Chain A
């Protein structure tokens, strides 16, 4: 007699498992059905639909900051697109700057200099122990609003102007010699590469220091300088000026964008600093000692021994910090920056359509999150593969 027939069906594990799942699915379906019928009922009572047809209607509201042309006569769909682009803009810039800040702060926390270590630790602890939202409103209302008025803008070398109206940067213009000059740069790079190879071969064949990098950089800078001398300046920049109550001839960051960007960068930077510190500490001491014993210089140890191993540890948590930054940018609404969530909320307030508004906003963030983690996973795989 096989075991199958000896076990009654109420003790048969397979039957029990299927029954449990069927019960679970039934329960979920019942709850979902109950909620759904309530929702349909409530929407019907309030005379709301749940379709996306309203997206082609005229939006009718202004948006403070638009990376693409937009006016209140445009559709809701375009208004929403403006929000998405604004979110992407602040996220992209924020990720780059936060990485730089986090790298500096993380390395500073491991500095041999006691004072620098303490300052970096104080930064990380202060920032990590207070809510981002409080920091954002602080940057916006207590820092940027307290800046001098636009007529009295603080100027840094006349290139950067800062006031309560935001930050004005010089706008860079191409000149007639820009493209020829780029050609010169290409030639210089080629020449530098050749020099690097020659010096490198010299070092490898004789065992004496070839100073390959030093020579290559010297050649590159020298050629570029000659190109500049012959052709003239390849770029021209227009200094920002205050005209009336606005900035002119410069790239202007609005106060809202500035506050959001600074807040996100300073906040995420502190978290990235901890990630970087953990990554560097994860490289075993013996590795560094072995590298020293082999005669590698400090720069080489960092580049060839520490970084490749630390990166493997750093990348997964770094990815989640990037995702956090993207998601945290939804706090823009507290400083009045028209990001995707803020515009989604405006659309909800105007149309009174809760279901499509929430669905749009959530699916946009979800798509962004999934896309970012996909990219970072690919990169992560590459780093792992190369190192093994």
Chain B
């Protein structure tokens, strides 16, 4: 019996001429739009290029690069930041070797970025540190790849990497904060932390702390206990109804009043508290969306298996719900990262605050365009990297496909 086979559809091929006609030139108003678009791009591009290459005084950025990166961190202690940075660099490489997909690309991008930065004009010690970090990434990657092929090594190294990530955080903070009276690791007060370093610390701490709080609030809002539910709803709606600046303002002026006499917390910690309290409400709403999407049958099945309420939530509901809301939560983390710029209003010297402080220097008067564009560029690069990583992560985990 002859097997009848359907003919494959003819392949669509489009020459460049046809592509242009289809996408740019027809009908007539599209051609007009194309011309207008080209003219707009030409004008903007030419204006920007001429300004950036001839008129802009980029020395305001290059002269103050250290300020932009670490603020007023004592220059003779900056080596601590570099040394601390070796840990995440290594861990990024290791994770890239162990987990494929987005992580691998990320590790590759990081190593390349270190190499490219080392090629920039900088002092030899900076270049050395950059190359050292690149070496750490490569080393971690090599180790990860080596372990990847061995089943026991893979499992072991993955555990090491995970605990490394968890431990790296307090270690890094200790590295930066130092110890009172220790000559080789003197205390560096948080008021001296600044620039990109402070931006990173603020966002990291707030993200790490607000996530569990948000999950708890979401569970509270879905709980069967009216008292808990009411409390969670009130908290979430109150926070979501007011702007972040007012929450920061409250954290700044009210928090010290709420604490017992004699207990003082510094401004950086107050800002972190404000961000955490604010972000938790938004995380809670995201997580609630995930919780609501879990089919009732899952919970009934868990009950039938004899799990109690606590186990059901922890082992059945939360793992599924949290995976579902990864995109939304990463979006929230990105906006938290961008929102850390608001501490400039409180007078802290994170990236934007340092920019303002640099502009206050008479030597760099009137260079707002250069400074703010540079600040925006840094924020843009990191936000874009995060949203890219999130999209890759969604694909790897199959969010929305299961």
Interface residues, chain A, with chain B CB atoms under 8 Å away: 17, 20-21, 24-25, 28, 35, 38-39, 41-43, 45, 111-116, 119, 125-126, 128-135, 137-138, 141-142, 145-146, 327-328, 330-331, 333-334, 341, 345, 348, 354-355, 358, 361-362, 365-366, 369-370
Partner of B261, one of A45, A328, A355: A45
A110 to B40: give the CA distance in the assembly, Å.
19
Partner of B249, one of A42, A141, A146, A358: A358
Q: Which residues of chain A come closer than 8 Å to B390, judged between CB atoms?
A: none
Digitize B144-167: 1 where CB-to-A-CB distance is under 8 Å, 0 elsewhere.
000000000000000000000000
Q: For the complex, count residues of B whose C-beta is within 8 A of A.
A: 54
Contact call A354/B257, Cβ cutoff below 8 A: yes
Partner of B242, one of A21, A355, A366: A366
Q: Which residues of chain A come closer than 8 Å to B267, judged between CB atoms?
A: none
Q: Which residues of chain A come closer than 8 Å to B40, judged between CB atoms?
A: 119
Contact call A358/B23, Cβ cutoff below 8 A: no
Q: Which residues of chain B come closer than 8 Å to A21, judged between CB atoms?
A: 225-228
CB of B34 within 8 Å of the partner chain: yes
Partner of B352, one of A24, A115, A134, A369: A134
> Which of B95-103, B119-127, B365-373 contacts the other chain?
B365-373
* Closest chain B CB from A236 CB (angstroms): 34
Contact call B376/A135, Cβ cutoff below 8 A: yes
A369 to B237: give the CA distance in the assembly, Å.
10
Residue of B with least CB distance to A45:
B261
Contact A116 to B37, CB < 8 A, known contacts A28-B231, A38-B260, A327-B242: yes
Q: Which of A115, A116, A146, A355 has the most CB of B within 10 A?
A: A115
> Which of B85-93, B175-183, B190-198, B379-387 contacts the other chain?
B379-387
Contact call A129/B24, Cβ cutoff below 8 A: no
* Closest chain B CB from A30 CB (angstroms): 14
CB of B397 within 8 Å of the partner chain: no
Give the contacts of B224-261 with A (CB-CB under 8 A).
224-228, 231, 238, 240-246, 249-250, 253-254, 256-261
Contact call A129/B33, Cβ cutoff below 8 A: no
A17 to B245: give the CA distance in the assembly, Å.
38
Contact call A115/B245, Cβ cutoff below 8 A: no
Partner of A133, one of B250, B258, B342, B369: B342
A94 to B101: give the CA distance in the assembly, Å.
42
A137 to B352: give the CA distance in the assembly, Å.
10
* Closest chain B CB from A280 CB (angstroms): 18
CB of B301 within 8 Å of the partner chain: no
Partner of A129, one of B224, B369, B379: B379
Q: Which residues of chain B come closer than 8 Å to A125, judged between CB atoms?
A: 384
Partner of B380, one of A126, A133, A366: A126
A129 to B377: give the CA distance in the assembly, Å.
9
CB of B293 within 8 Å of the partner chain: no
Partner of A134, one of B224, B244, B379: B379
Contact A115 to B33, CB < 8 A, known contacts A130-B380, A365-B243: yes
Contact call A116/B33, Cβ cutoff below 8 A: yes
**What are 15 A-B contacts defined by CB distance under 8 Å?**
A21-B226, A24-B227, A38-B259, A42-B258, A113-B30, A114-B23, A128-B383, A130-B379, A131-B341, A134-B372, A138-B372, A142-B368, A328-B243, A333-B345, A358-B254
